[in-house]
C-alpha cells in the first residue's frame, strides 16, 4: 500500500505544534510496518536546505487559483528512515518567515496559500506519475484535498482508486474565511451550502475535509465522541455526528527515541520497570533543581501551556487546598498572562510546597517527567494528550480528567485495582479534582500497590508502530469504501 | 507623554510596521491600539469606524487597560455629537482635557465612561474620513504639539491601512464576482433548461451576495403575474412561505415598472416596514428585461443585520439579469423551433405511414389477403400502431354487425414482440409470416345488433362518423342490457375508437381499434389518420370485390363456352351419324333392290346376263360402301404412316394419268410445273397418294365445265423449313366465304356426291407428316392448296395452329402464306 501524508507542518522540516510531531513520526512508523509512506508539505523558508538537500530538479506545476494560474514546483528530499518528503514550492506563498502568520496575526492570504498547496498536491500527482492508494490529510490546511478528490478531480485516472483519510488534530482551527475566497478554490457555489463548505456565511475548509473524506479520524476515541456534541464540536458537531460511522479515534504514539527512561540522556539516571532505582536518582536531582529537601513527600508535576484548556482554572481553585496537603507541586510552562500570574502568586505564597517555572524547557520537562511521583492533567478537553503517556512511560502516575485521549489512555487504579494505571475524575469541578488527588496521595504510601500501578503504566505500548497499525486499518477501511479490497 | 524624538520615531516606525504587515486588518488595528495604549499614556485607545451610509461612528477596535473594551460596547456616535463626532464633523482633532468639568455638548455617555481627558483624532486621508481614534485617559492628561502631530501621523497611517485593506478586499471581491459572473455565463450557455439555469443562478448569486434567499419569478406568455420558478434560500422555517405574498407584490411592481427596487430603509419603499416585520433588512429585486419586455423578476433578500445590498450589487445583478434575459429568449426560441420540428416530423411520419399502408392495401386484390393486410397495417409498429383491431361488416339483412376478422396480441408479452417486428408492411422485410399468427379465428362468432343505441361501435356505423371514447360505451339500457351482458361492449377497454367503412355513401362495416397494451391514449390525430385509412381501406375493398365479380363473370363465360363446344361436338356427331346413315342408305338400297331381284325375279326369271349385271351393280355399291367405311375409319382410329423415300414428281405424274379421262371429260387443261430439283422426301407413299388424289379430285370437281388445273412443286424456302412444297390450284370459282372455315371439317361438303371427308383426311395426313397446308382462296376465281412436306417427318402440331387460325375466319386475313398461281 502506498500512502501520502499531507500536512502543513512535518518534523523535521517545519513545526509549530504537535501536528508536526505526528505527521513526522507516522510515515516512518508506517514504513517500519511495511507501508510505503511518503509525506508532502509546503516548502517554507525554515526548511533547512543544508540538512535536507533536494534531489534533482523539481517538477513544475501550474495551479489554477480563481481566474489565474499560479506557477510552482514540487521538490523531493529525504525525511529519513526511507520516507520521501515532497515540498510544494512557491516562494511568494511559503518563502516567509513564519508558517501561518506573524506573532501579530494570521497572514491575510492563508486561504490562497493553502488552496495553492492542496491543489498543488493534486496537480503534482496528476502530472508526476506517482500513484497513491491513500491520501492522508491533516487539519484544515490540507482539508481541500478530499474535496478536490470528490469534485474537480473525481474520475481522473491517478485518483480513481485513491482513498482519503482526514485527521482532525485541532478542531479549534477550522480555516474560516470569507465567502469571496470560494472562487479561489475553483469549487462551484453549489458546494457553498450548510451541507458543504459553508459555515454561517463563511467558507470553512475543515468542514470540506469532514464532509468529503472517505474516512475521518481524530487523536482519541473519546475525543471522537466528544466532538459530536456542542460542548466540544466548535459548531461542527452536526457534520461530525452525521459522519459518526466513518469517524475513528487513534491515539498518537510517542517518540521512543526522545522519551524512554532507559535511554534518556537528559535525566540524571536511566531506569526501567525491572529496576526503578534510577528513578529515585532522578527524583533527588529534580528536588535539588527546585531547592526542595530530598524527602519522601510525594511530588506532583504539571507541564504545559498555561491555558484554560489545560485546566488551569481548576489548578488555580485548588491551589490553596494543595498547599495544605502533604505534597510538593512543580509546574513548568507558559501561556496566558492571567494563569502565569496566578501560578506565580501561588509559588510566592507557598515556596516550600509549590514551585513554578514560567518557560518552555524541553530538558527540564524530561527531568520533571522522570523525577515526580504523580502528574496532574485536569484538562478541560484533551484531544490526545502526550504528557500522561510520557508520565506512565517514566513510572509517574497520572491524575487526569476523563476527557479525550486522557480517558482512553489512563485507567483508574481504584475502579480497576488489577489494571489501574492512574487516577481519574470526571466532572470539570474542583471538588472532583481534589478527590482524585486525595486518592493518589492516599495510595502513595502503599509502596507495593504504588509500584504495581507504576509498572503497569510502564509496560503499556505507546509506540508509533502500534498507532501506525491502527492507521493501516483505517486506510484499509477507506479503500473498502472506495470499492477496493484493502 | 514623555518627550523624546527617538521615542516618537520608534513609536511611529512600529505603527508603520504593523499597518503594513500582511495580516487581517482587524489584527493590525488591534495591535496598533495595544501599542498606542502602552506608549501614549492613554488608558484606552479606541478606533471608531464610520458607517458606510452617513457619518455615524461605531466603536470598532480598542485596547483598554483595566476597564472593559470599548469595542465590546454597542453604541453609535452621530456626527457632531460627543467628542469623536465633533472631530469627525470638524475633520480635525478635538481635545477635552476635563470632560467631568467641561463635558461636550451633546455628550455620548458610553464614550465618556470614567475618562477625564479625551483626545479624538480623525482617521482620514486627503479625501475621505474613515473614522476617529479616541485616546481616553482616566487621569487628566495633556498633549504637546509634537505629540499631537505624532498622533495625527499615526491616524493618517491608520487611514492608509483601512483604505488599503478596503481596496484589497474590494479587489478580491471583484475578482470573486467576475469569476462567478463568468461561471454563470458559462452555465447559461451550457443548456436550454431554463429551470436548471435559474436554480443555479439563484443559488450562486445568493451565495455570492451573502443573501439569505433568492427567488426567480417568470411571467408565462399571456400572464400578467410572474410566478415563482425558483426559490432558493434558508432561514427560519416557514419564513419563505410567509414572505411569499409580500414578495409577490414587490415582484409585480418590479415587473410592471421594469425598474430595479432596492429597499434598505423606509425612504426606499412603502413596503419597508412589512419587510422588517418579516425580518428582511435588505431587499433587492430586478426585472429580467428583454427588448423592453419584462420576462420575470429576480429578487434577493438579506435577513442578516449587517448585510445591506448596495448599488454595486444592483449593477452586478443587472449584468446577471441581462444574461438571463438572453438565455430565456434563446431557450424560448429553441423550444419553439423544437416544437415545430417535432410537429413536422410527426406529420411527415404520418403521411409516410399512410403511404405505406395504401401501398400495402393495393398490393393485393384477394379479399382475404387484403383484410389481413388491412388489420396488420392497423396494429403494426410501422403502420398505425394500435394494439388491436377488429373489422365488422354489415350483415346481409343490415341489422347487425358481424365480426369478419380480428387481429392483435393476446397478452403483453406478445404485444412487446410485435413492437419489435420489422416496421415494413411490404417487401422482403415485411413480417408476412407473422400476420396469420395474430388472427383471432374465434372472433367470427361475434355479432353486434346495429340497433343498440349505447354501443358506440354500432353508432359509428349508423351515424357514419368516427367515434373515440375514453369512457367506454354508454350505460346499458333496457332490452339491450341483457344482450350485451358479457358481450362486446363489456369486453373491450373503455378507451377505443371506431371508424365506419362507407362505400358509395352506404355503410358497409366498421373498424374497431384500441390501445389495450400501449400506454398512450388514442388522440384526435389518431382518428384523423384512422379516417384516412378507412377511406383507403374502402377503396381497396371495393377494388377487391370488383375484381372478384369480374373473375366470376369470366368463369361463367368460360364454362358456357365449354358447354357450347360440347353441344357443337354432339351436333357434329349427330350430323355425322346422319350423314353416314345417308351415305350408306343409298348404296344399301341399291344393293338390297338388286339382291331382291336376283332372289325373287319379278315377272320372268332373271337371265344369267341380268344377274351378272345386277351383281356388277351390287359389287360397285359395295365398293362404294367399303370406301365410305374406310374413309370413316380413317378418322376413328390412328393410322400410323409407314415412311419410305418417295419422288414426289413421279407420284404426281402417275396420279394425273389416272385422272386423264376425267380431265378430258370435263375439258380441263392440266398444267404441271414440277421442279426437278426437289429432293426425295420421306413419306408414307399410300398416304401421299391419298393426298394427291383428294386434292386433284377436289379441283376437278370444282371445275365442272372447263378450267385449268395447275400442279407444281418446288423446294421449300428456308423460312418454311427443309422440305418441298406441293401446290394444286384450280379455276373453279373458289369457296364461298361463309363456308370456307368448314372445309377441313369432316363430312362437310358442297358436292352432291362428296363424302366430306377428303380435305379432313388430307389435313390429318399432312399433319402426321409434320407438314403444313395453306389455302389460298380467291372467291370467284379459284382456290389453291399449298402443302409443305418436310424432308424428314417431324412431330405433329404445327398444323394445329393453322387449323385454329382457319377456324377463326378468312384465310386471307389470317396471314396464311399464299402462293398465287
Task: List per-residue pLDDT tens for chain A, 486 residues long.
Answer: 999 999 999 988 998 878 998 999 999 999 999 999 999 999 999 999 899 999 988 899 999 998 889 999 999 999 988 999 999 999 999 999 889 988 778 898 999 999 999 999 999 999 888 899 999 999 999 999 999 999 999 988 889 889 999 999 989 899 999 888 999 999 988 888 888 999 988 999 999 999 999 999 999 999 999 999 999 999 999 999 999 999 999 999 988 888 999 999 999 999 999 999 999 999 999 999 999 999 999 999 999 888 888 999 999 999 999 999 999 999 998 888 889 889 999 999 999 999 999 988 889 999 999 999 999 999 999 999 889 999 999 999 999 999 999 999 999 999 999 999 999 999 999 999 999 999 999 999 999 999 999 999 999 999 999 999 999 999 999 999 887 544
Q: Strand locations in A200-286, DSSP E?
A: 202-204, 215-218, 247-249
Answer for the pair B248, B219: CB distance below 8 angstroms, yes or no. Answer: no
What pLDDT is stored for residue A360 in this prediction? 83
Calculate the CA B120 to chain-centre distance: 88
Residues 6 or more apart whose Cβ sits within 8 Å of residue B150: B8, B11, B12
User: How many C-beta atoms surround the C-beta of residue A69 within 10 A?
Assistant: 12
| Shortest alpha-carbon distance between residue A180 and chain B (Å) | 6
β B94-96/B261-263 pair status: unpaired
What pLDDT band is residue B322 in, cutting at 50, 70 and 90?
A: confident
Min Cα distance A236 → chain B (Å) is 18
Fold match between domain A2-253+465-481 and domain A277-461 = yes
Domain boundaries in chain B?
Answer: 5-171, 192-332, 350-473+492-535, 638-808
Under 8 Å CB pairs connecting chains A and B tally to: 71
% of chain B residues with pLDDT over 90: 12
Locate the DSSP E strands across B439-505. Answer: 447-449, 467-469, 496-503
Confidence at residue B814, expressed as pLDDT on a 0 to 100 scale: 36
pLDDT at res. B797: 45
CB B512 within 8 A of CB B496: yes
Question: Does B480 score more than 60 pLDDT?
Answer: no
Interface touch A67/B180, C-beta < 8 Å: no
Percent residues over pLDDT 70 in chain B = 89
Of A102, A183, A190, the CB nearest to B176: A183
- The verdict on pTM exceeding 0.90 is no
Q: Are B781 and B733 in contact (CB under 8 A)?
A: yes
Is 90 exceeded by the pLDDT of residue B780? no
Asked if B5-171 and B350-473+492-535 have one fold, the answer is yes
* B182 with A67: Cβ contact below 8 A: yes
More confident position, B132 or B420 = B132
Residue of A nearest to B182 (CA): A67
First to last CA, chain B: 168
Q: Name the residue of chain B whose CA is nearest to A183's CA.
A: B176
Give the span between the Cα atoms of B59 and B164, in whole angstroms: 20
Superfamily of domain A2-253+465-481 in CATH is: Glycogen Phosphorylase B; (3.40.50.2000)
Task: Specify the higher pLDDT residue, B479 or B511.
Answer: B511
Q: Who wins on pLDDT, B635 or A418?
A: A418
- The residues near A395 (Cβ < 8 Å, ≥ 6 apart) are A261, A271, A273, A276, A279, A370, A454, A455, A457, A458
- pLDDT tops 70 at residue B811: no
**Mean pLDDT confidence for B505-522:** 85
Q: Which residues of A touch B201 (CB under 8 A)?
A: none
Of residues B23, B30, B173, nearest to A101 (C-beta): B23
Each residue's pLDDT tens digit, B716-734: 887 777 889 999 999 888 8
Separation of alpha carbons B44 and B88, rounded Å: 19
DSSP 8-state code for residue A335: B
Residue B627 predicted with pLDDT over 90: no
Give the pLDDT confidence score for residue B553 in this predicted structure: 85
Nearest chain A CA: its distance from B163 CA (Å): 15
For chain B, state the CA radius of gyration: 64
Task: Read off the pLDDT of each residue in B28-33 and give the average, rounded to a whole number.
Answer: 90
- In chain A, residues with a C-beta closer than 8 Å to the C-beta of B207 are 179, 182, 189, 192-193, 198
- As assigned by CATH, the class of the B192-332 domain is alpha beta
Residue A54, SS3? coil
Q: Please report the pLDDT score of residue B557 as a whole number.
A: 84
Give the residue on A whose Cα is nearest the Cα of B18. A104
The arithmetic mean of pLDDT across residues B552-572, rounded, is 76
CATH architecture assigned to B5-171: 2-Layer Sandwich (3.30)
- What is the pairing mode between strands B261-263 and B707-715? unpaired
Mean pLDDT calculated for residue range B372-391:
86
Quick check: B179 and A189 CB within 8 A? Answer: no
**Contact assessment for residue A412 and residue A456, using Cβ atoms and an 8 Å cutoff:** no
pLDDT beyond 70 at B638: no
Higher pLDDT, B727 or B661: B727
For residue B605, name the pLDDT band (cuts at 50, 70, 90). low
- Give yes or no for a contact between A255 and A284, defined as CB atoms under 8 angstroms apart: no
Mean pLDDT of chain B: 81
Q: Is the pLDDT of residue B749 over 80?
A: no
Give the domain ranges of chain A: 2-253+465-481, 277-461
Q: Say yes or no to pLDDT of B378 above 60.
A: yes
Distance (Å, rounded) from C-alpha B418 to C-alpha B747? 71
Report the pLDDT value the prediction gives residue B757, as an integer from 0 to 100. 67
pLDDT confidence of residue B754: 59
**Residue among A106, A189, A198 whose CB faces B24 most closely:** A106
Nearest CA in chain A to B165: A108
Question: Which is more confidently placed, B199 or A137?
Answer: A137
Instruction: Provide the pLDDT for residue B803.
Output: 44
Nearest-Cα distance to chain A for B117, in Å, is 29
pLDDT at B170 over 90: no
Candidates B21, B169, B180; nearest CB to A104: B21
CA distance A218 to chain B (A): 30
List of chain B residues whose C-beta atoms are within 8 Å of the C-beta of residue A107: 22-23
- pLDDT of residue B704 exceeding 60: yes
The H or E element spanning position A409 is helix A404-409
Tell me how close the Cα of B304 comes to any Cα of chain A, in angstroms.
10
Q: Which residues of B touch A194 (CB under 8 A)?
A: 234
Where residue B222 falls among pLDDT bands split at 50, 70, 90?
low
Least CA distance to A192: which residue of chain B?
B207
Closest CA of chain B from A258, distance in Å = 36
Superfamily of domain B350-473+492-535: GAF domain (3.30.450.40)
Q: Report whether pLDDT(B817) > 70.
A: no
* Domain topology for B638-808: Heat Shock Protein 90 (3.30.565)
Tell me what pLDDT residue A409 has.
Answer: 94
With a cut of 90, say whether residue B8 has pLDDT above it. Answer: no
Helices A447-459 and A430-443, axial angle in degrees (round to 10): 110
Cβ contact (<8 Å) for B175 and A66? yes
Among B31, B207, B304, the residue with its CB nearest the CB of A192 is B207
* Residue to test with chain B: of A96, A101, A180, A197, most B Cβ within 10 A: A180
At A115 the pLDDT is: 96
**pLDDT score at B640:** 66
- pLDDT tens sequence across B47-65: 999 987 788 999 999 988 8
Taking a C-beta distance cutoff of 8 angstroms, is the pair B193, B297 a contact?
no
Residue A143 near residue A463, CB atoms below 8 Å: no
- With cut-offs at 50, 70 and 90, classify the pLDDT of residue B487: low
Residue that the C-alpha cell 376437278 belongs to? B700
Q: Which chain A residues are Cβ-neighbours of B169 within 8 angstroms?
A: 180
**Closest chain B residue to A184 measured between Cα atoms?**
B176
Query: For residues B502 and B539, is the Cβ–Cβ distance under 8 A?
Result: no
Pairing of strands A134-138, A163-168: parallel
- In sequence order, what are the residues at sequence separation of 6 or more whose Cβ sits closer than 8 angstroms to the Cβ of residue B415? B387, B409, B517, B518
Q: Comparing B68 with A119, which gets the higher pLDDT?
A: A119
Answer yes or no: are the C-beta atoms of B680 and B643 closer than 8 Å: no
Backbone phi and psi for residue B469, each to the nearest 5 degrees, phi listed first:
-145, 155
Helix (H, G, I), strand (E, B) or coil at B703: coil
Environment class of B420 (CB within 10 Å of its CB; exposed 0-12, middle 13-18, buried 19+): exposed
Which three cell numbers mark A479?
A: 479503500
Nearest residue of A to residue B177, measured between CA atoms = A180
A277-461 CATH: 3.40.50.2000
Phi-psi region of B777 (alpha: psi -120 to 50; beta: other; left: phi over 0): beta
Shortest Cα distance from B30 to chain A (angstroms)? 9
* Closest chain A CA to residue B169: A180
Amino acid at each position: 500500500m502506498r500512502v501520502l501524508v499531507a500536512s502543513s507542518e512535518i518534523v523535521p522540516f517545519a513545526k509549530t505544534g504537535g501536528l508536526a510531531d505526528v505527521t513526522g513520526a507516522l510515515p516512518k512508523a508506517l514504513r517500519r510496518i511495511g507501508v510505503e509512506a511518503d509525506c508532502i508539505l509546503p516548502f517554507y523558508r525554515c526548511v533547512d536546505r543544508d540538512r535536507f538537500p533536494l534531489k534533482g530538479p523539481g517538477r513544475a506545476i501550474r495551479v489554477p487559483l480563481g481566474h489565474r494560474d499560479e506557477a510552482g514546483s514540487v521538490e523531493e528530499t529525504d525525511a529519513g528512515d526511507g520516507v520521501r518528503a515532497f515540498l510544494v514550492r512557491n516562494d511568494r506563498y511559503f518563502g516567509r518567515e513564519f508558517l501561518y502568520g506573524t506573532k501579530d496575526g494570521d497572514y491575510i492570504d492563508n486561504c490562497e496559500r493553502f488552496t495553492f498547496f492542496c491543489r498543488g498536491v493534486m496537480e503534482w500527482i496528476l502530472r508526476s506519475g506517482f500513484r497513491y492508494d491513500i491520501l492522508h490529510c491533516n487539519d484544515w490546511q490540507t482539508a481541500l484535498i478530499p474535496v478536490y478528490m470528490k469534485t474537480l478531480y473525481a474520475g481522473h485516472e491517478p485518483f480513481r482508486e485513491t482513498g482519503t483519510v482526514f485527521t482532525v488534530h485541532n478542531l479549534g482551527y477550522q480555516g474560516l474565511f470569507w465567502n469571496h475566497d470560494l472562487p479561489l478554490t475553483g469549487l462551484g457555489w453549489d458546494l457553498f451550502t450548510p451541507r458543504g463548505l459553508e459555515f454561517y456565511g463563511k467558507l470553512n475548509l475543515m468542514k470540506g475535509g469532514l464532509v468529503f473524506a472517505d474516512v475521518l479520524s481524530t487523536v482519541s476515541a473519546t475525543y471522537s465522541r466528544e466532538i459530536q456534541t456542542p460542548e466540544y464540536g466548535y459548531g461542527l458537531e452536526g457534520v461530525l455526528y452525521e459522519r459518526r460511522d466513518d469517524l475513528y479515534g487513534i491515539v498518537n504514539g510517542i517518540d521512543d527515541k526522545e522519551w524512554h527512561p532507559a535511554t534518556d540522556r537528559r535525566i540524571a539516571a536511566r531506569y526501567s520497570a525491572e529496576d526503578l532505582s534510577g528513578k529515585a536518582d532522578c527524583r533527588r536531582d529534580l528536588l535539588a533543581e527546585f531547592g526542595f529537601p530530598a524527602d519522601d513527600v510525594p511530588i506532583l508535576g504539571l507541564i504545559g501551556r498555561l491555558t484554560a484548556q489545560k485546566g488551569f482554572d481548576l489548578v488555580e481553585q485548588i491551589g490553596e487546598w494543595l498547599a495544605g496537603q502533604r505534597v510538593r507541586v512543580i509546574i513548568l510552562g507558559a501561556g496566558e498572562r492571567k494563569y502565569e500570574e496566578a501560578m506565580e502568586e501561588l509559588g510566592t505564597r507557598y515556596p516550600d510546597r509549590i514551585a513554578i517555572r514560567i518557560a518552555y524547557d524541553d530538558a527540564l520537562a524530561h527531568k520533571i517527567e522522570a523525577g515526580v511521583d504523580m502528574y496532574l492533567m485536569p484538562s478541560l478537553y484533551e484531544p490526545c494528550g502526550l504528557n500522561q503517556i510520557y508520565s506512565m512511560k517514566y513510572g509517574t502516575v497520572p491524575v487526569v480528567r476523563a476527557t479525550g485521549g486522557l480517558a482512553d489512555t489512563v485507567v483508574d487504579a481504584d475502579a480497576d485495582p488489577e489494571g489501574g494505571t492512574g487516577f481519574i475524575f470526571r466532572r470539570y469541578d474542583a471538588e472532583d479534582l481534589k478527590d482524585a488527588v486525595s486518592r493518589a496521595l492516599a495510595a502513595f504510601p502503599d509502596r507495593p500497590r504504588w509500584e504495581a500501578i507504576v509498572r503497569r503504566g510502564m509496560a503499556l505500548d505507546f509506540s508509533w508502530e502500534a498507532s501506525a497499525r491502527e492507521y493501516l486499518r483505517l486506510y484499509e477501511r477507506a479503500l473498502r469504501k472506495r470499492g477496493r479490497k484493502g | 507623554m514623555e518627550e523624546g524624538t527617538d521615542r516618537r520615531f520608534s513609536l511611529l516606525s512600529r505603527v508603520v510596521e504593523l499597518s503594513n504587515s500582511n495580516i487581517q486588518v482587524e489584527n493590525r488595528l488591534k495591535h496598533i491600539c495595544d501599542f498606542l495604549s502602552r506608549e501614549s499614556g492613554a488608558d484606552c485607545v479606541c478606533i471608531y469606524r464610520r458607517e458606510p451610509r452617513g457619518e455615524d461612528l461605531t466603536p470598532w477596535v480598542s485596547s483598554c487597560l483595566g476597564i472593559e473594551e470599548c469595542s465590546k460596547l454597542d453604541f453609535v456616535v452621530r456626527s457632531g455629537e460627543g467628542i469623536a463626532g465633533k472631530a469627525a464633523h470638524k475633520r480635525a482633532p478635538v481635545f477635552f482635557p476635563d470632560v467631568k468639568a467641561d463635558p461636550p455638548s451633546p455628550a455620548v455617555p458610553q464614550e465618556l465612561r470614567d475618562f477625564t481627558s479625551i483626545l479624538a483624532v480623525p482617521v482620514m486621508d486627503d479625501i475621505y474620513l474613515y473614522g476617529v481614534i479616541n485616546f481616553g485617559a482616566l487621569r487628566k492628561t495633556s498633549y504637546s504639539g509634537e505629540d499631537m502631530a505624532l498622533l495625527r501621523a499615526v491616524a493618517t497611517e491608520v487611514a492608509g491601512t483601512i483604505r488599503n485593506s478596503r481596496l484589497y478586499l474590494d479587489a478580491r471581491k471583484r475578482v470573486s464576482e467576475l469569476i462567478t459572473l463568468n461561471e454563470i455565463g458559462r452555465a447559461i450557455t451550457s443548456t436550454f433548461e431554463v429551470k436548471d439555469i435559474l436554480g443555479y443562478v439563484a443559488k450562486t448569486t445568493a451565495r455570492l451576495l451573502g443573501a439569505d434567499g433568492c427567488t426567480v419569478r417568470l411571467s408565462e406568455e399571456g400572464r400578467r403575474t410572474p410566478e415563482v420558478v425558483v426559490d432558493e434560500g434558508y432561514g427560519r422555517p416557514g419564513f419563505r412561505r410567509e414572505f411569499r405574498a409580500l414578495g409577490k407584490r414587490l415582484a409585480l411592481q418590479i415587473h410592471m415598472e421594469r425598474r430595479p427596487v432596492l429597499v434598505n430603509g423606509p425612504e426606499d419603499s412603502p413596503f419597508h416596514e412589512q419587510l422588517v416585520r418579516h425580518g428582511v433588512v435588505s431587499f433587492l429585486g430586478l426585472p429580467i428585461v428583454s427588448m423592453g419586455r419584462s420576462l420575470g423578476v429576480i429578487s434577493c433578500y438579506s435577513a442578516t443585520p449587517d448585510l445591506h445590498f448596495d448599488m454595486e450589487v444592483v449593477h452586478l445583478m443587472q449584468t446577471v439579469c441581462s444574461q438571463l434575459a438572453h438565455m430565456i429568449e434563446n431557450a424560448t426560441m429553441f423550444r419553439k423551433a423544437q416544437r415545430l420540428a417535432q410537429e413536422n416530423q410527426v406529420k411527415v411520419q404520418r403521411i409516410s405511414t399512410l403511404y405505406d399502408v395504401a401501398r400495402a392495401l393495393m398490393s393485393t386484390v384477394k379479399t382475404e389477403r387484403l383484410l389481413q393486410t388491412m388489420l396488420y397495417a392497423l396494429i403494426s409498429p410501422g403502420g398505425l400502431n394500435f394494439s388491436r383491431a377488429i373489422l365488422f361488416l354489415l350483415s346481409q339483412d343490415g341489422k347487425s354487425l358481424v365480426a369478419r376478422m380480428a387481429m392483435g396480441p393476446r397478452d403483453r408479452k406478445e404485444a412487446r414482440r410485435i413492437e419489435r417486428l420489422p416496421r415494413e408492411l411490404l417487401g422482403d422485410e415485411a413480417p408476412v409470416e407473422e400476420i396469420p399468427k395474430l388472427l383471432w379465428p374465434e372472433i367470427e362468432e361475434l355479432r353486434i345488433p346495429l340497433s343498440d343505441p349505447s354501443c358506440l361501435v354500432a353508432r359509428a356505423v349508423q351515424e357514419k362518423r368516427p367515434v373515440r371514447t375514453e369512457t367506454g360505451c354508454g350505460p346499458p339500457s333496457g332490452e339491450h342490457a341483457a344482450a350485451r351482458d358479457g358481450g362486446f361492449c363489456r369486453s373491450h377497454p373503455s378507451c377505443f375508437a371506431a371508424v365506419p367503412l362507407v362505400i358509395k355513401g352506404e355503410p358497409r362495416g366498421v373498424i374497431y381499434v384500441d390501445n389495450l397494451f400501449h400506454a398512450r391514449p388514442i388522440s384526435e390525430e389518431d382518428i384523423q389518420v384512422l379516417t384516412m385509412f378507412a377511406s383507403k381501406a374502402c377503396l381497396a375493398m371495393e377494388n377487391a370485390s370488383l375484381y372478384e365479380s369480374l373473375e366470376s363473370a369470366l368463369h361463367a363465360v368460360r364454362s358456357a363456352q365449354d358447354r357450347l363446344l360440347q353441344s357443337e361436338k354432339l351436333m357434329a356427331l349427330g350430323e355425322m351419324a346422319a350423314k353416314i346413315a345417308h351415305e350408306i342408305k343409298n348404296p344399301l338400297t341399291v344393293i338390297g333392290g338388286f339382291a331382291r331381284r336376283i332372289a325373287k325375279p319379278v315377272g320372268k326369271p332373271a337371265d344369267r346376263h341380268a344377274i351378272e349385271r345386277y351383281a356388277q351393280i351390287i359389287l360397285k355399291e359395295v365398293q362404294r360402301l367399303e370406301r365410305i367405311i374406310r374413309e370413316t375409319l380413317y378418322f376413328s382410329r390412328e393410322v400410323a404412316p409407314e415412311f419410305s423415300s418417295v419422288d414426289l414428281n413421279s407420284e404426281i405424274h402417275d396420279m394425273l394419268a389416272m385422272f386423264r379421262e376425267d380431265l378430258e371429260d370435263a375439258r380441263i387443261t392440266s398444267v404441271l410445273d414440277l421442279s426437278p430439283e426437289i429432293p426425295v422426301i420421306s413419306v408414307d407413299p399410300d398416304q401421299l397418294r391419298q393426298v394427291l388424289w383428294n386434292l386433284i379430285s377436289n379441283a376437278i370437281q370444282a371445275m365442272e365445265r372447263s378450267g385449268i388445273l395447275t400442279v407444281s412443286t418446288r423446294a421449300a424456302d428456308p423460312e418454311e423449313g427443309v422440305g418441298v412444297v406441293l401446290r394444286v390450284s384450280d379455276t373453279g370459282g373458289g369457296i364461298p366465304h361463309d363456308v370456307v372455315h368448314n372445309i377441313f371439317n369432316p363430312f362437310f361438303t358442297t358436292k352432291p356426291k362428296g363424302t366430306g371427308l377428303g380435305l379432313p383426311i388430307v389435313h390429318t395426313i399432312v399433319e402426321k407428316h409434320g407438314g403444313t397446308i395453306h389455302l389460298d382462296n380467291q372467291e370467284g376465281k379459284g382456290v389453291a392448296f399449298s402443302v409443305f412436306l418436310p424432308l424428314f417427318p417431324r412431330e405433329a402440331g404445327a398444323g394445329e395452329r393453322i387449323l385454329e387460325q382457319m377456324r377463326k375466319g378468312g384465310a386471307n386475313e389470317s396471314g396464311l402464306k399464299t402462293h398465287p398461281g
